[in-house]
Amino acid sequence: MQTKASANPLAHALTSAGGLLLPPPAPVAPDDRWLQWIAENLLRGCTAESMLDAMTASGLSREKSAAAMRSMEQNPAFLAAKKWQQIQRKYESVLANHQKLGELSPDYRVVEKRTQLSRGEFMDRYVRGCRPLVLTGMAADWPAMKRWSPLDLKARFGHLEVEVQTQRNADPHFEQNKLDHRMKIQLGAFVDQVLAGGGTNDYYLTANNEMLRSPDFAPLLDDIGTLPDFCNRGELPRSSWFWFGPAGTDTPLHHDAVMLLHTQVVGRKRWRFVSPLEIPRLYNYNNVFSPIDVDAPDLVRYPAFRDVKVLEVVVEPGETVFLPLGWWHQVTALDISMSFSFTNLAVPNEYTYLNPSIDDW
């Protein structure tokens, strides 16, 4: 697995739990920001020596820094946090043990491709069994498979305005900051941009556009043929999304809040999956996102990812991914791509995640 060097000059100061947090600006003596930094890094398992090196490198007195660390270890609030940490560690160990059990299967890293699948087997093996799957042939009778193309999209809907994401390359957190990258454009002009621009992640018409909620785009839904018997057809207009973009578009590592099906109509996409039981090793500090790039994980800054087992599959035109509940995934378009995703499964599909919102780690 390829790795990339960390930009953090303090990256040598690491433990198995994770890297040293970037330090705040240094005053003459440790202030509240530094005291919080000390507490956070002690709880992360960073060594005292690495922390002292970081503090002195930032201009703080080594003697005062050491005194602040000794004081923190006796701080009542810090001692209370360590008790809660013991409970968290138990939860993490339960997840790790179940993940270890799952990996005993010789086929653990295989994403199955199935053509014939009964509702009962789908429910037992993939929904309740919580395993990703690729369904082949499910969209065989869809008019979309013969009709959809960038030029067809332009001919039928080119005069309509859509919302796309732009200037993604300039923002390493483009998906978290997706509201800042919105742009309205006529669909025909966007098709021209995709056809002329080559491979790039800089612009993408993603599920966030909500265009299928507009009656103007209803003919796209008419192009969707038979759905499997574990889907509720009547919910499709409210529970479906359209994707279109060039080769090279990337959806960073994250998890969804529901289960879904994602049909590849034009082009191919590479899907990488990580089990939801691996969340303690994915550094999920912000909402549903992990900062790890599966293609080039920074194992200096995120060392716990080293032993994570990644599942991978290339999804061809006409194939449909089933994304089970909570599975992390990173998706890359290998060609100009048109996709259709839907969440209208005829099973309970509303779940609550209590997501973190830590923006300074």
Percent of the chain predicted with pLDDT > 90: 89
| For residue 6, pLDDT beyond 80 | no
> String of b and e for 245-266 (b: at least 16 CB within 10 Å)?
bbbbbbbbbbbbeebbbbbbbb
Residue 18 to residue 113: CA distance in whole angstroms? 36
Query: How would residue 331 be classed by pLDDT, with cut points 50, 70 and 90?
Result: very high
Measure the CA–CA gap between 357 and 340, rounded to whole angstroms.
Answer: 30
pLDDT, position 90: 98
- pLDDT tens for 59-106 read 999 999 999 999 999 999 999 999 999 999 999 999 999 999 999 999
pLDDT score recorded for residue 361? 87
pLDDT at 13: 33
pLDDT tops 80 at residue 14: no
- Tens-place pLDDT, residues 244-255: 999 999 999 999
Task: Please name the helix (run of DSSP H) or strand (run of DSSP E) that holds residue 33, with its range, or none.
Answer: helix 32-43
pLDDT higher than 90, residue 168:
yes
Domains of the chain: 110-342 (2.60.120.650)
> Is the pLDDT score of 10 beyond 70?
no
Spatial CA neighbour of 146 closest among 337, 318, 359, 330: 318
Q: Which tokens in the block code for residue 87? A: 């409970």
Q: Cβ of 119: how many Cβ atoms within 10 Å?
A: 14
- Judged by average pLDDT, the poorest of 3-7, 176-180, 294-298 is 3-7
Of 4 and 102, the structure prediction assigns the larger pLDDT to 102
Tokens at residue 49, please?
């020596």
Instruction: Report the pLDDT value the prediction gives residue 29, as an integer from 0 to 100.
Output: 65
